[in-house]
């Protein structure tokens, strides 16, 4: 018997959907969107992507990827 409910499918991909419902960006205080392919939680308002490691969202600004830097082509010399 298969246990492939949507919640179990999300858990298998790395994050509990109930957790996604309550997490907010620590910078913008806005809801986050889940990028399953990248394994990140995205804050469009703050322009940050928080990594998910071992099913645990790492909600530290120092660990977040700057989405604006990615769009600008990286570091400015």
Q: What digits encode the pLDDT tens for the residues 3-21?
A: 433 443 344 456 788 888 8
pTM over 0.85, yes/no: no
32: domain CATH number is 2.20.25.10
Contact 15, 25 (CB under 8 A): no
- Residues 40/31, Cβ–Cβ less than 8 Å: no
> Is there a domain that residue 67 lies in?
yes
The total of structural domains in the chain comes to: 1
Does residue 77 lie within any of the structural domains?
no
**What's the token pair of residue 69?**
């830097």
pLDDT digits (tens, 9 = 90+) for 7-58: 433 444 567 888 888 999 999 999 999 999 999 999 999 999 999 998 899 9
Q: How far apart are the first and last CA of the chain?
A: 57
CA distance 68 to 44: 10
């Amino acid at each position: 018997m298969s246990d492939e409910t949507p919640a179990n499918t999300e858990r298998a991909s790395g994050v509990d959907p109930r957790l996604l419902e309550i997490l907010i960006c620590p910078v913008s205080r806005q809801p986050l969107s889940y990028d399953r392919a990248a394994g990140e939680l995205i804050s469009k308002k703050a322009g940050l992507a928080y990594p998910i490691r071992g099913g645990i969202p790492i909600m530290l600004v120092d660990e977040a990827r700057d989405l604006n830097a990615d769009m600008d082509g990286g570091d400015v010399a």
